[in-house]
Amino acid sequence: MRVALLLLALALGSATAGATTLLDYITFDGIDYIRWTTDEPGRPLTRADLGPEFAVVECSFGEDTRRCPYGLDAAAAFLPSGTRVYAVQGYPTNFRLAAVWRDRIFLYQAWRNPRAKVGADLYDIVGKVRAIDVRPGEPPQAAATTPTAITSSDDVAALVEMITTGAVRKPQVHAVGEPRYLVTLWLFDGTTLGRVYFRETSELMGGVAVPAAFARILERYVGPRSD
């Protein structure tokens, strides 16, 4: 399992081994979806959130590392073969999928889509964000700090606009000491989307390039980071 996560960390373009205990993935139709293994702070999905069945996991890296490499279509890091995957009510399948295993529902959200041109192609969040939290670092380090709420509705709207209109590029490699923030978008349905923002490259995790104004807004609330 740790090897699977290490592969994912490399694919995410991270030079830090800290990411190796945090993420798992599924891949369908060329889109990589990820989830933090530390749960998102928003409400968990219920059966009422499930849409039609979308796909079935065909192979698991954890079951067969050689025949199920990262990036293979219908592959998963942890979910066993045969796991059923569903659409999520109210969201397109190129943004969110839900996997059901042992009566638990796991939310996976798009990380990399080769067909995405702007952030809105990755994240279906236009008109759906009610609040944004920010904290230094990334899980699990960020979990040790209290999130700071971005209180201005204008700032929330500006951040969402920058994310959804930002050009999508190949995710870059990030040094261990590069300043970063965990940005959590709270949606109106109570669920969340958490993504790391890398200050020096002005990149939101997933390869979304945002302008320098993005950092200026965050740093009005949490201050600049130097580590």
3-state secondary structure (DSSP) of residue 106: strand
CB 100 within 8 A of CB 68: no
Query: Could you tell me the two tokens for 63?
Result: 């079951």
Which tens digit of pLDDT belongs to each residue from 157-209?
999 999 999 999 988 877 777 889 999 999 999 999 999 999 999 999 989 99
The pLDDT of residue 164 is 98
- Nearest in space to 204 (alpha carbons), one of 107, 97, 126, 120: 120
User: pLDDT category, 2, cuts 50, 70, 90?
Assistant: very low
**Angstrom distance (rounded) from CA 206 to CA 34:** 10
Q: What percent of the chain has pLDDT over 90?
A: 69
User: pLDDT category, 225, cuts 50, 70, 90?
Assistant: low
CB 109 within 8 A of CB 118: no
39-43, 100-104, 150-154, range with the lowest pLDDT:
39-43
Average pLDDT score, the chain = 87
**Angstrom distance (rounded) from CA 207 to CA 87:** 24
62-76, 96-110, 154-168, range with the lowest pLDDT:
62-76
Q: Which residues of 82-114 are buried (b: 16+ CB within 10 A; e: fewer)?
A: ebebbbbeebebbbbbbbbbeeebbbbbbbbbe
Report the residue count for the chain: 227
Q: What is the secondary structure of 2-70 as a DSSP string?
A: HHHHHHHHHHTTB--GGGGGTEEEEEETTEEEEEESSPPSSPPP-GGGEEEEEEE--EETTT-TTTS-T
The pLDDT of residue 140 is 67
Average pLDDT of the residues in 89-101: 97
CB 164 within 8 A of CB 116: no
Half-sphere exposure of residue 196: CA atoms within 13 angstroms, side-chain side: 28
User: pLDDT category, 124, cuts 50, 70, 90?
Assistant: very high
Which tens digit of pLDDT belongs to each residue from 6-27?
444 444 444 343 444 357 899 9
